[in-house]
Structure 1
Amino acid sequence: MPVAPGSPSELRRLTELSSILIRYGFGDFLRYAGIDQIVEKAGEILHRKSPGEAEDAPAPVRMRKALEDMGPTFIKLGQILSTRVDLLSPDFILELEKLRDHVPTLPFEDLVVEVEAELGRPIREVFERIDSVALAAGSIAQTHRARLKTGEEVVVKIRRPGIRGVIDADLRLLTRIARFAARRFEDIARLHPEAIIREFANSIHTELDFAIEGRNAETIAKSFEDDPTIGTPKVFWDWTSEKMNVQAFIDGVPGSDRAAVDAGGFDQKAIALRGANAVLKMMFEDRFFHADPHPGNVFYLPGNRLVFIDFGMVGQLSRQRRDEMVDLLHGMVERRADRVTEILLTWADADERQNLALESRIDAFIDRVHGVALDRLDIASLTRDLFSAMRDHDLALPSDLTLMAKAFASLDGMGRQLDPEFDMVAVAEPFLHRQMLGRYAPDRLARKAREGAAEGVELITGLPRDLRKLLQMAQRGRLRLGVDVVQMEHYLDRFDRSITRLTIAIVTAALIMGSSIVMSFSGAKMPIGLSVFAVTGFLASVLSGFWLIYSSWRSGGRR
């Protein structure tokens, strides 16, 4: 059942989260946002204890620790924010990338309650053997090694019972906070916080459904079915569902184990090149890619083969977005700052009035990198600089592109870890070249011509019908012209408050002048009623003056 706005359970959770933020030195943020007042007005008392040593740590470290203490929803939110290089500075991105699910292992009997209810029988009857000791434990799931009755060694990923309800409750609260922040603070509104929370909600709901992860793995596996050097774990669909995922056990060396990789006798340069080519193929040719190809999500097998795992986070690009990305890179090579700026503004759905300032910044950026040898370009640094320019101009990217940027950075880091001379730009160049040529291939041009002709015919043939509907609406008096002025309600409210203050200020001034004139009489004895009126008017004017000062101060804090 949905939690009503301001319900006791929601307020208790808000108080808990606020206390964590205060403990890590973010109390000023709560006061600035007015959240502490919301909680206190509801009768809750925040525990304003001294943050102690936590406050001495850098802000990115404190944010990471606070998110870890807040629980699974906020750990996942931090992981999503670590992909938003267009919103956060590099020091925050690097720290949020360290977020891990530090949670105790759930006893096996408690873990399998929901899965057994779904199976209709004990889970041990499904497998010949399943280990009670977990391979790994996270806030959403635990993994256990097992063997099917057909003999295959597998890894079983089981969702923690009750986790969906916890996450859904937190998402409702986050949605309300984002809506509140967007309405109250113009700087935050420009970052589209509600859209970020919607993106996050879609991402975490996808991650909660382990069947989707299985389908993602098979989609990528199909793309490499003719390449024996790239693989993904086989999914056993007889036992895979929303709450449980069963995949083949990979008997290889995890990329995160540097000592084992060095001792394994692998050709690390060949592995780096194969991994980069695989991910770039996913991006530019398949347009469906692993969004987090860091060393922990890759296993190395004999023969310098690679197996990608964990497909909970994937990215998907439309043909148009892929072509825009190619145009952006081509515009940088050709020193077309105007074209690069146009694409960035289109992505951010931004006002063209920002064009001139951003174009000047992009022009300087292109001048700095133009002419530099390919092997000396640092693509991770270039990405950070480009998105830094977007942050400075309050521009945000669509989620598919932030995932692509995240994948590029992870891929570049993994490549350099394996091969210090790894050149991401040189590896990517053939893919970009093929895409540029492919856009003008005869079959591509013919398809675009057919699509354009079909749309033109549809527009022309549908025009009389649309005009008839328009005229009928006008004849019936149902034709209306609507003008939606963005944030007009907000400005009208501020104007109304200003008029109210002005009216009180005039009345206060009149009271001061009137009472001063009356009290200045000397000589004849002043009637008692008149003197009381003078003193009362003076006191009222003083109180009104204090109220005006306080109201103006409060209003200034909200802007």
Structure 2
Amino acid sequence: MSILPNRLTRYQKFLSFMLKYWNSDLLNETTSNALEGESAGEFSDYDQSPEELVDDLKKMGPTYIKLGQLLSTRPDLLPDNYLEALTSLQDDLPTIPYEKIREIVEDELGSRISKAFNWFQEEPLASASIGQVHLAELRSGKKVAVKIQRPGIRKKFLEDLETLEEVAGFAANHTEIGKQYAFDDVLAELKRIMLHELDYLREAENLVTLGTNLKSYRRLLVPQPIPDYTTSKVLTMEYVQGKKVTSVSPLRKLEEDHTALVDELIESYLKQIISDGFAHADPHPGNIHLMDNNKIALMDLGMVAQFTKKMQEYLLRLLIGLSKNNGEEITDILLEMSERSEVSTEKEFRRHINTMINDSRNSTAQDMQTGKLLIQMNRSAALNGIHLPVEVNILGKILLNMDQIILALSPGFDLKDAVRRHVTKIMQDKMVNELAPEEMFSALLESKKLAENLPERINKITENLANNDFNIKIDALDEKRLTDGFQKVANRITLGIIIAAMIIGAAMMMRVPSPFMIFGYPGLAIIFFLVAAIGGIALSYTILFKDE
């Protein structure tokens, strides 16, 4: 009996939030930025303050806090003071009492904290929407960061997502903007990502994979998990001492040149996307830490993106087009990788893309245009009935976050030049890798299969040709429908000629005297005329109302 009131409470909470912000200047300007690409930093006076928005999201629960965190990484949508306030959602949330933390850790590890660790710090290092991080020391003397999942968080996520799914489904089915942006598909992807983030075993696997892929980058570090101390709700990993890149003091920026560090970070992300097909999908400044030894640590791998080989090729070509500012090339690639609806307007989409590329020429990192450009392209595609794959938006989000990191560490860094240089190098490496023995062996196996089957297939073709049994099927044309159409046209023409002949014959017979009269006219002529008139009317009705 409590299920219905609980659901009504969730709807009431969601509707109250929407009613408060639906007609607000903040939402209107945010929508304007999303669709038209105006600068979010120009707007400052709104009915709701940044602190009020943060408090409302906290009251809404963990799912909405997570959405707020995603918004905090979008400077293309919100003003700076709102971004700063939403950033507090990343690690400034109510803490879980230590007694509850101790209970969860001991239940998950099957051992008392005092036995598992030399010491376990009661005060958390950070408290986020999904978990809380504590500093501890293993029996071996190694310092570790222990992330503990909030109790009951999975149930709360699923409840909130159920409400959002129903609203998104309604919007996708009954509103034009919901159809354009496929709200239900977006939410389904968000649900998949959030459920993956709730599984710390999966995150541990992600840390290992990314650490292996990036081991050649000496300035980058991916903290590795401690398997024996990790479960689906407790993640223990190497402790990294550093601070967010956005928290670096201005004095340190002046004293140290971070250009080489940023360049290596950009190269590593390009490698993840177009070479490895496995990328850290949430590299916002809160997850990128600058260490005391001037290395960068990539944190929080709950959210990763995986790209197929075909998609890697598309994104490689897209990045090359972006680095060259070639609007036509970019449009061709986007159309090649997209799906189109019946009402798609390719010409308008092509014009939009070329305008965006021309406007973005000669932009610097401080303008933060690269990632924003891709996201605006995605929106332009949606408005023109063209559905780009979700990987394009993921790439846009990653580059948008890279823009912020560049601005924090090396504002004069030329991202487009870096993309051009590294993409060329990665493309050369991919071509070399494709010549590796294992790749060549795969090609040889395919050639072997072709060589084995070729004689038999040639024999069948020549035998069918000799027996006049060789047929070619073409699906481009329905010959039956075509011949039926020709037959119908021929029949209509024949019937029309017969009707015309009957009318002419009836007119000529009018002058021939006859004892059989109808309405004072020769009877046979009137009969022919009436039959022709009825036939003509019937034929006209069929042509006008029945034919497809």
TM-score scaled to structure 2, two decimals? 0.67
Q: Which amino acid aligns with 2:408?
A: Q
2:415 is matched with: 424
SS at match of 1:91: coil
> Considering only CA atoms, is the larger Rg found in Structure 1 or Structure 2?
2
2:405 is matched with: 414
The answer as to whether partners of 1:178 and 1:193 remain within 8 angstroms in 2 is yes
1:77 is matched with: 67
Runs of 5+ consecutive residues of structure 2 not aligned to the other structure = 26-44, 461-548
Quick one: which of 12, 36, 47 aligns to 2:9?
Answer: 12
Matches within 5 A, 1:148-547: 148-259=138-249, 262=252, 266-301=256-291, 303-331=293-321, 337=327, 339-351=329-341, 353-368=344-359, 372=362, 378-380=369-371, 382-383=373-374, 385-387=376-378, 389-390=380-381, 392-393=383-384, 395=386, 397-437=388-428, 443=435
Give 1:117 deviation, angstroms. 2.5
Q: Which amino acid aligns with 1:20?
A: F
1:91 paired with 2:88, answer no
Residue 132 to residue 183, structure 1, CA distance change in 2 (3 Å): same
Deviations 1:12-62 (A, max 9, x none): 21112222333445599xxxxxxxxxxxxxxxxxxxxxxxxx97138x997
CA distance in 2, matches of 1:333, 1:17: 42
Give 1:124 deviation, angstroms. 3.1
Give 1:265 deviation, angstroms. 5.2
Give 1:402 deviation, angstroms. 1.8
Residue 376 to residue 133, structure 1, CA distance change in 2 (3 Å): closer
2:493 is matched with: none
SS at match of 2:249: helix
CA distance in 2, matches of 1:362, 1:216: 35
Superposition CA RMSD, Å: 4.2
The answer as to whether partners of 2:106 and 2:113 remain within 8 angstroms in 1 is yes
Highest relative contact order (Cα 8 Å, sep 6+), 1 or 2? Answer: 1
Aligned pairs, number: 432
Give 1:172 deviation, angstroms. 1.7
CA distance in 1, matches of 2:299, 2:366: 31
Deviations 1:48-99 (A, max 9, x none): xxxxxx97138x997666434311112223445677x8xx963389956835
| Worse-superposed segment, 352-361 or 243-252 | 352-361
SS at match of 1:90: coil
CA distance in 2, matches of 1:458, 1:95: 66
SS at match of 2:228: coil
Deviations 1:471-498 (A, max 9, x none): xxxxxxxxxxxxxxxxxxxxxxxxxxxx
CA distance in 2, matches of 1:304, 1:296: 17
1:40 is matched with: none
CA distance in 2, matches of 1:153, 1:200: 34
Give 1:217 deviation, angstroms. 1.2
Report percent identity of matched pairs.
Answer: 27
Runs of 5+ consecutive residues of structure 1 not aligned to the other structure = 29-53, 465-559
1:145 is matched with: 135
1:36 is matched with: none
Give 1:234 deviation, angstroms. 2.5
Give 1:440 deviation, angstroms. 6.0
The answer as to whether partners of 2:222 and 2:297 remain within 8 angstroms in 1 is yes
TM-score scaled to structure 1, two decimals? 0.66
